[in-house]
Each structure stands twice: as structure tokens, then as C-alpha cells.
């Protein structure tokens, strides 16, 4: 094993372990010791919580990025989701071009990383229950699994005035963190049809996205732990 790979693993551990809940740090440290990878902390992204890039011309090791605005439990789940991509890639590198990004190979790797946390009672009860459901039918992304996402959201810092996009009545105006204002349209499964007030362009915003309500009555519960 080359010295550069070892340094990269050490950097990954130093980067992410302090951001995790204390009781899971030893386990995650052991996981990262087994996987040569680089972890980058990324600015918040609305379309994804994290991503994975396999070794290639730009890097000899796996690269992972994770949004910096995640609470510790969401950060943990996203990290293991992306490590599962690296695990599946390494296990099946002889046929990696035929492996689907979130197919059975990734599902098995993700389940293998999560199961010790559930078995060791290292997760809060509500998160453990949601993870157990997720393991039965893993989704392509944490943000696609409503049960798990809602459980993880309970550990976000309370943000007064924030609501979920799916709670807004049709026609309500809301604002994203970047300052853009939108008018809520129809619900479309997990996302909502929305129109930017300035340009009139249509966008699809995830129903569980937290936004600032500007006008229109909101009947659903607010975000934050009780």
C-alpha cells in the first residue's frame, strides 16, 4: 500500500470524524481505514446531499463530497451512502461498466455499512427504525426516501419561519436561501411544480425542501425538533 493512499485515508478521517455523532466515530473511523478516498466538504446543494467519483485520470483514489449544512445524523447517512458506491465499485471493478449506480451491488454495500449501526444500537430509535425500512427497500438517494429523510430532519437545528414546500397551499409565494422567490404550483409525487416569480420559468422543487414562506397561509407543521 502506497504512502500517498495512506495519507489520503488519514485526511479523510480527520475531515469527517469530528462532524459525526460521538458514538459512531470509532466505527466510521474503521470504515474509512478500509477505503482509500478523499472527502471534500461542499457548499449546500439543492439537488444532492453528496456524490462519489471513482478513481480516474484526475485522482488515483475514490473522491466523495458531502454538503456542509447536514446535521450529524444526515451527514453520517450520506457519508455511508457514498462510501457504499466506492465499496461496490471495488468489489465489482472487473465488470464495473455493467454495474448500475444504485443497483443490487450498491444496495448490498449500503446495507452492509448500516447494519452494524442498527445492530449495535448506535442510532437514535427513530433513525434506526427508518434505516431498517430503508434497508428493506434501499432508494437511489437519501433524499428519495421520505421516511428516512423525515427522521433525519428531526435533528436539524430549528429554523423559525421555515416550512416544507409540500405544506404550502397552491399559489403561495416562498423564497429559497439564494433569495429567489417562487410561486407554488401542483404537487408532483416527491416534487412540486413551482414558478420563479421574476422570470416565470418552471422548476421542480423537492416537497421536503425547507423554504421561507412569503405569502399565503400554511397549515402544515413547522420544521424543527419539539
| Helix/strand number for the chain, H first, E second | 6, 9
Please report, for residues 137, 138, 139, 141, 190, the alpha-carbon distance to residue 144 in angstroms, rounded to integers and kept in the order given.
11, 10, 6, 5, 8
Which of 22 and 221 is assigned the larger pLDDT? 22
Percentage of the residues of the chain whose pLDDT score is greater than 90: 36
Q: Give the up-direction half-sphere exposure of residue 65: CA atoms within 13 A in the CB hemisphere.
A: 9
* Residues whose CB falls within 8 Å of the CB of residue 1, separated by 6 or more in sequence, listed in order: none
Question: What cell does 194 get?
Answer: 413551482
Q: Model-level pTM?
A: 0.72
Higher pLDDT, 209 or 31: 31
Q: How far apart are the first and last CA of the chain?
A: 49
Instruction: List, for residues 112-171, the tens digit of each pLDDT value.
Output: 999 999 999 999 999 988 888 877 765 555 556 778 888 888 888 877 778 888 889 999
Q: Where are the beta strands (DSSP E) in 132-171?
A: 162-164
For the cut 90, the answer to whether the pLDDT of residue 104 exceeds it is no
CA dihedral over 117, 122, 126, 129, signed as positive or negative: positive
CB 176 within 8 A of CB 196: no
Q: Which residues does residue 65 pair with via DSSP β-bridges, in sequence order?
A: 40, 51
Looking at domain 162-215, its CATH class is mainly beta
Which residue ranges make up each domain of the chain?
3-153, 162-215
Above 90 in pLDDT, residue 13? Answer: no
Q: How far apart are CA 126 and CA 198, in angstroms?
A: 40
Amino acid at each position: 500500500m502506497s504512502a500517498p493512499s495512506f495519507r489520503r485515508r488519514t485526511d479523510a478521517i480527520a475531515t469527517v470524524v469530528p462532524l459525526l455523532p460521538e458514538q459512531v466515530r470509532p466505527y466510521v473511523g474503521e470504515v474509512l481505514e478500509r477505503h482509500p478516498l478523499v472527502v471534500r466538504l461542499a457548499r449546500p446543494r439543492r439537488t444532492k446531499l453528496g456524490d462519489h467519483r471513482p478513481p480516474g485520470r484526475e485522482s488515483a483514489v475514490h473522491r466523495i463530497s458531502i454538503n456542509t449544512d447536514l446535521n450529524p445524523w444526515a451527514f453520517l447517512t450520506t457519508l455511508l451512502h457514498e462510501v457504499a458506491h466506492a465499496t461496490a465499485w471495488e468489489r465489482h471493478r472487473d465488470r464495473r461498466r455493467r454495474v448500475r449506480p444504485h443497483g443490487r451491488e450498491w444496495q448490498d454495500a449500503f446495507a452492509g455499512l448500516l447494519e452494524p449501526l442498527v445492530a449495535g444500537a448506535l442510532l437514535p430509535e427513530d433513525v434506526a427504525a427508518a434505516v431498517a425500512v430503508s434497508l428493506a427497500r434501499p432508494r437511489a438517494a437519501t433524499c428519495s426516501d421520505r421516511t428516512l429523510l423525515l427522521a433525519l430532519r428531526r435533528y436539524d437545528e430549528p429554523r423559525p419561519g421555515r416550512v416544507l414546500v409540500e405544506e404550502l397551499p397552491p399559489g403561495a409565494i416562498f423564497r429559497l436561501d439564494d433569495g429567489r422567490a417562487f410561486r407554488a404550483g401542483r404537487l408532483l409525487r416527491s416534487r412540486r411544480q413551482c414558478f420563479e416569480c421574476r422570470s416565470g420559468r418552471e422548476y421542480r422543487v423537492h416537497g421536503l425542501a425547507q423554504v421561507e414562506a412569503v405569502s399565503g397561509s400554511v397549515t402544515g407543521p413547522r420544521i424543527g425538533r419539539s
